[in-house]
A and B are shown apart, each in its own frame.
Chain A
Amino acid sequence: MTLYIITNSRIFKTHTLKATTLFDKVWDAHVVEHVEGGPNILYIDKHLIHEVTSPQAFSGLEKRGLKVFRPERTIATPDHNVPTVNQHLLIVDKESRAQVETLKANCEKNKIEIYDLNHPNNGIVHVVGPEMGHTQPGMTMVCGDSHTSTHGAFGAVAFGIGTSEVEMVFATQCIMQSKPKKMRITIEGDLAQGISAKDLTLYVIAQLGTGGATGYFVEYAGSAVRSLSMEGRMTVCNMSIEMGARGGMIAPDETTFEYIKGRTHAPKDEAWDDKLAYWKTLKSDEGSEFDKEYCFKAEDIEPMITYGTNPGMGMGIAQSIPSETDVLASELPSIQKSLAYMDYQLGTQILGKKVDYVFVGSCTNGRIEDIRAFAALVVGHKKADSVTAWIVPGSKKVEKEAIEEGLVDILKEAGFEFRQPGCSACLAMNDDKVPAGKYCVSTSNRNFEGRQGPGSRTLLASPLTAAAAAITGVITDPREFM
């Protein structure tokens, strides 16, 4: 909007009130300083840490003779290395045990709140943040983990950082970051029955590819996004990194406020009213400009599955892997290498192909709605004998809820074991490793070579698709169960 002042028949153009995006509103409000010819100094409201990317940051800080600047803005939870059985016993793997103990010791030394193993609030860092009310709209949040983008579901600017940057935030509660470009991805319409947030995000990533959003911060919009629950929105924002995005966010609304209200660290009483008034301003103004925009239709989305070795190599479960003529000549060597690893062929379907393992869990799909969806499909059926299944809750709270709702009874009846919280087979740092050559339908976020164990073959999918595969022992369209 441009204002004009007319005087003595001359027209002056005064300041322009520019329509601002949600991302700009949050980012700009946190800039301490803009370095000439360089990055912004961005203030960080909340710093989440875990045991894998923090040890060197803590020791670096000590070497500099510094203390953690704002321990009260730091939350810790060990998750990557922890076993998902017998958590009450000492961790067997020496190195895993050392990392978990190092985190505890560092937190004690620096007076940082930690939800240690066996604490009732322990769990995967990106499950714990939101469920404890730490994650709120309008915040800047970082963690030494690329799926920090999860918290963007609340309208926060949240992104993953490296260990040196963790040290930076410890020392100054700030980070040096160049401001990324802005992308908006709008998905309109209704998701069909049996299609979930995970299918939506795998669909989008298949369209853009693993580098399609590199250099951009994504805002997700549209009626299909609005219709998602907070957990569904978290799944979508979580996977933003898989198309190279710096982060992904969704404007907060009533669904968001409902979710946050009453949680342990949510603002209360007058503070709640104040915050709510601010949160309601957090949306992209009409007419905001983005550097790039994409629009998709929800009705085009089927249950998705990946067939290759990056999250962009996904397709509708009933479709065929692209044939030689479907791909660019320059892309063919890469795809062939990928398919050779998976032992799949160009131009073929993978419906009906053997599945050896099923993993339900991770920061992508390890929340109560995911366990509910899985249980709702398997009830009345039995797990295939040929399948090893790991059902891993994202946190102690999710574990407790699943037990209280009777979901664990349903799982047991169907022949499934319910384990204890942790990142588990998502990246197989603990003992939950898929053996070489075996196929795993996984509700996690990455299917890179060896991700779930050297030589393992990962097929990314939704909890419903994982449930269907667990029953039949082969890749199955979950809609057959509806």
Chain B
Amino acid sequence: MSVDKFTLLESSCVPLPTENVDTDQIIPARFLKATSRKGFGENLFRDWRFSPSGEPIKDFVLNQSKYSGQVLVAGKNFGCGSSREHAAWAIADYGFKVVVSSFFADIFRNNALNNGVLPIQVSPEFLENLIKAIEENNSQNVIVDLEKQLLIYNKEAYKFEINPYKKECLLKGFDDIDYLINKKEKIQEFES
């Protein structure tokens, strides 16, 4: 079994400058009752997107048609709080393939990578400039080149960091479990 390959992406962006976005906002607890991995996109940022009666909240970025794309650009400390992988599922299911921020919570970063969503950490200055550019030009495109580890927009390019093993997994569409199953003998050796 594998995740989708990620090599090169060109897309417009959705800006969410809010800081400390926790996973309870990304996917509230009442939606964790599912026993499958599907359908979480509908409830992404549920309580910021819809009023209790189900009306779209006009000011929330996902309800503004001027913004669209597969890249979410978010304020620092994105994905803090609960370890729920459902947050990564909701983001992927909604259609985002990349999240850009100046700081990611550890567990979320891992969960995103395990689901083919690339978390790109940039400097606070780069983030601020990117958000400004998107707000000025709603169809601002970015290019993400995973092989070269570059995030490019207009004439600015950012070389981002990624664990070489995780990069290989994303480029090839491998997952950790396939890797580990091949190590069964070594694991049994360890146990004895």
Contact = CB atoms under 8 A, between A and B. Distances in A.
B81 interface: yes
Interface stretch (A92-100, A191-199, A289-297): A92-100
- The residue among B77, B103, B106, B110 with the most chain A CB atoms within 10 A of its own CB is B106
A37 B168 CA distance: 10
Contact of A99 (B33, B163, B183, B186): B33
A32 B187 contact: yes
B166 interface: yes
B47 A450 contact: yes
A39 interface: yes
A52 interface: yes
A59 B35 contact: yes
B191 interface: yes
Interface string B31-65: 01111110000000001000010000000000000
Given A176-B180, A214-B103, A38 B166 contact: yes
A37 B162 CA distance: 11
B52 A171 contact: no
B24 A449 contact: yes
A340 interface: no
Interface string B151-176: 00000000000011110000000011
Contact of A37 (B29, B105, B114, B165): B165
A171 B175 CA distance: 13
B177 A172 contact: yes
Contacts of B24: 427, 446, 448-451
Contacts of B34: 55, 95
A221 interface: no
A215 interface: yes
B135 interface: no
A387 B51 CA distance: 27
A450 B52 contact: no
Interface stretch (B8-16, B83-91, B136-144): B83-91
A386 interface: no
A190 interface: no
A173 B114 contact: no
A211 B25 CA distance: 17
Nearest to B104: A214
A163 B180 contact: no
Contact of A172 (B77, B80, B181): B181
B19 interface: yes
B36 A59 contact: yes
B93 interface: no
Interface in A423-466: 427-429, 436, 446, 448-451, 454-455
Contact of B184 (A56, A172, A176, A246): A172
Contacts of B35: 55-56, 59, 98-99, 102
21 contacts: A32-B183, A55-B35, A55-B36, A66-B181, A145-B83, A146-B83, A146-B107, A162-B83, A162-B85, A162-B107, A164-B175, A172-B180, A174-B187, A211-B20, A214-B105, A310-B80, A334-B20, A429-B29, A448-B22, A448-B24, A451-B29
Of all A-B residue pairs in the complex, the 7 with the closest CB atoms, nearest first, are A38-B165, A162-B85, A95-B33, A37-B164, A55-B35, A160-B83, A146-B83
